[in-house]
């Protein structure tokens, strides 16, 4: 079931990339991926604020996850020339601080969409 959802998510990203190509702002890709998921009736939430606790105090808005798909998969979107270790660390931190087990880093600023996708498992 989760694998089917992950496959569908990647296909949604591919459809957005085919339609728009590289070179746009991250926020545009986020909006269009959200709409593609919505079109396929896959539940999704955008810009989800996840609080953290530091020294016993709750820190609101400490980070925001770009998309949470079907309450199962974190998606962090980028529109950069190259994904770096900082981008990887960001997604791994999101996975560590949340209850989610799987995440995708999707970079839309690439010629071939498959070269811009990284899958992470906690």
CATH number for position 57: 3.40.1350
Q: Could you tell me the two tokens for 100?
A: 């989610």
Which pair of structure tokens corresponds to residue 47?
Answer: 């810009």
Note down the domain range covering 31. Answer: 2-121
Q: Compute CA distances 18 → 11, 22, 83, 107, 122, whole Å.
A: 10, 9, 20, 13, 30
- pLDDT surpasses 90 at 98: no
Domain total for the chain?
1
- With CA atoms as reference, report the closest residue to 53 among 100, 98, 103: 98
The DSSP H or E segment spanning 95 is: helix 85-97
> Is the CB of residue 105 less than 8 Å from the CB of residue 118?
yes
- pLDDT by residue (tens digit) across 6-32? 999 999 999 999 999 999 999 999 999
- Mean pLDDT of the region 91-111: 94
pLDDT at 92: 95
């Amino acid at each position: 079931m989760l694998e089917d959802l992950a496959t569908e998510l990647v296909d949604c990203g591919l459809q957005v990339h085919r339609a728009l190509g590289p070179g746009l702002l991250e926020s545009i890709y986020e909006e269009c991926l959200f709409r593609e998921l919505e079109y396929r009736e896959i539940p999704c939430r955008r810009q989800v604020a996840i609080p953290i606790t530091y020294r016993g105090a709750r820190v609101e808005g400490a980070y925001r996850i770009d998309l949470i798909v079907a309450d199962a998969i974190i998606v962090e979107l980028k529109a950069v020339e190259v994904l770096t270790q900082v981008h990887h660390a960001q997604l791994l931190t999101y996975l560590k601080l949340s209850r989610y087990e799987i995440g995708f880093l999707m970079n839309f600023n690439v010629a071939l969409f498959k070269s811009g996708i990284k899958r992470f498992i906690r």
